[in-house]
Amino acid sequence: MNRAGIVVLGVGCFIFFTDQWIKMFFLEGFRWQGEFFSLILTYNKGVAFSMFAFLEEYLKYIQLVLVGGLGMYLLFHKEILRLYALPIGIIAGAALSNIFDRFIHGGVVDYFFWHYGFEFAVFNFADVMIDVGVVLILYRSWRASKKVF
């Protein structure tokens, strides 16, 4: 396995297991109510902001096929994998953790609820890591485009 593959696998496993470890506390009953945010337990049957919840049981299979398809694409486009190994590992680990939740718990385990000034969607560590991965891809793409000129 090449360096990029090791980074993707290592980072992906770290994100996956960290997310599952955090979720374990909420599944075992941990809760906290705060003035600005609360730590609660909820199961998201959809994707972001519960969109596509109407797909019910099909959603987890659709997501699995999409993540698998992206993985296959990256196997045939190793230059992308080399350039973006870290963010791909972050996103893959987080996505697979949320898909795992769907198979085991019937929905994604979410727990962080921001409610100061306005109520925001309940989310989890994996959701944040997907955002971090996307920002890293955008930043690296922007930096690469600056080098061309």
The one-character DSSP state at 50 is G
CB pairs under 8 A, 24+ apart, for 27-32?
A: 27/105, 27/109
DSSP class of residue 118?
A: S
The secondary structure of residue 140, as a DSSP letter, is H
Catalytic (active site) residue 101: no
- Does residue 127 carry a catalytic annotation? yes
Distance of CA 28 to the CA centre of its chain: 22
Query: In this structure, how many other beta carbons lie within 10 angstroms of the beta carbon of residue 141?
Result: 12
User: Which has the closest alpha carbon to 114: 12, 19, 34, 26?
Assistant: 34
Q: Which residues does the annotation mark as catalytic?
A: 110, 127
